[in-house]
Amino acid sequence: MNRHSSFRRYAAIRGRARRLVFGVAAIVAMVLGMAGFGAAAAAADTVIDTIGVGNGARGVAVTPDGSHAYVTNTGDGTVDVIDTVGNTVATTVTVGNSPSGVAVTPDGAHAYITNTGDGTVDVIETATNTVVGAPIPVGNSPNAVAVTPDGAFAYITNFLGGTVSVIETVGNTVATTVNVGNNPTGVAVTPDGSHAYVTNNVDGTVDVIETATNTVVGAPIPVGIFPQGVAITPDGAFAYVANNGGPGTVDVIETAGNTVIDTVTVGNGPTGVAVTPDGSRVYVTDNGGGTVSVIETAGNTVIDTVTVGTNPEGVAVTPDGSHVYVTNFVDGTVSVIAIEKCLGSLCIDFGSLTGSGSGAGSAFS
């Protein structure tokens, strides 16, 4: 046998053995991390991308498949559609005057847009990214929108009307109008579709609408100063309310009794709220501080504060829980945050694995 060929064969075998050893070592390290041995090496939640959008970026919603994020641009009368794989604007849709809120239907087929200046709602067909049908007249100064889990109805808060318009999505007509408190701002529907929670900004209260009858049930729930955004945990047990005024707090409502059971201090001017799909974290935009506060729901404590753009407002978490999209109103940008994932003491920053996007092709997603 040729001496050189024998050496090359030996070197190849040795190289494969070394790679095998390193692979085993990596697995052992991961197992030890999961078991709580050793120190975690990953960073906290990190902004991995900033996307330029239109003027006065406000609302944001991610499609159920995580492929796109819809962003309302209040100053432009447009909606930017972000492709989350590359975090680029795929197209821009012209809508009504001063678009504010946005919600995507559970089947991902349509996006509902509130036009604050027109008192209307536009419906975008996501397959073609075109507005379908005539604008739907609602109340005075429509602000937020939430769609029921079955996709049958859209609930719209009318800020200057003191009402909530209920749109039947089959024909895109207003089925009924519900009287609530003064200056209703945010709205969220429970996962079972039975109730809608509405923040009344001037009153400092939350009204609860029973969707079966579209009537307000119980007394208004007192919360903090100027409540705005509201989000409900995936199990429907808690509603998180951002109080924009005062010291900057988030109230936690236990939905079983509709009482505030905890108050969490966050940054300056909390506005938007979003809960992760597993219910473990709540992301709150601190409009006056240019930050996002991260609340761990197990103890209702702030575990991280992420710096984003100027005057962040809207916030949405991707369906796989890997990324957060935040609109920055003054900058006309969207910040993309990669969520850190931890198993025991082993933590993985999804941004370091995928670079950007909503987790397409992500490890551990």
- What confidence score (pLDDT) does residue 341 get? 74
Structure tokens belonging to residue 6: 């024998």
Residue type, 10: Y
Burial of 296 (0-12, 13-18, 19+ CB in 10 A): middle
The model's pLDDT over 49-99, given as tens digits with 9 standing for 90+, comes to 999 999 999 999 999 999 999 999 999 999 999 999 999 999 999 999 999
Does residue 325 carry a pLDDT above 80?
A: yes
Q: Give the tens place of pLDDT for each residue, 221-268.
A: 999 999 999 999 999 999 999 999 999 999 999 999 999 999 999 999
Counting Cα atoms < 13 Å in the Cβ hemisphere of 287 gives 22
CB atoms within 10 A of CB 153: 20
- Is a pLDDT exceeding 70 seen at residue 343? no
183, 149 contact by CB (below 8 A): no
Give the span between the Cα atoms of 84 and 323, in whole angstroms. 10
Task: Report the pLDDT value the prediction gives residue 63, as an integer from 0 to 100.
Answer: 98
Q: Tokens standing for 84?
A: 């989350």
Which DSSP string corresponds to 199-265?
EETTTTEEEEEETTTTEE-SSPEE-SSSEEEEEE-TTSSEEEEEE-STT-EEEEEETTTTEEEEEEE
Least confident range from 33-47, 146-160, 225-239, 248-262: namely 33-47
Enter the DSSP assignment of 135.
P
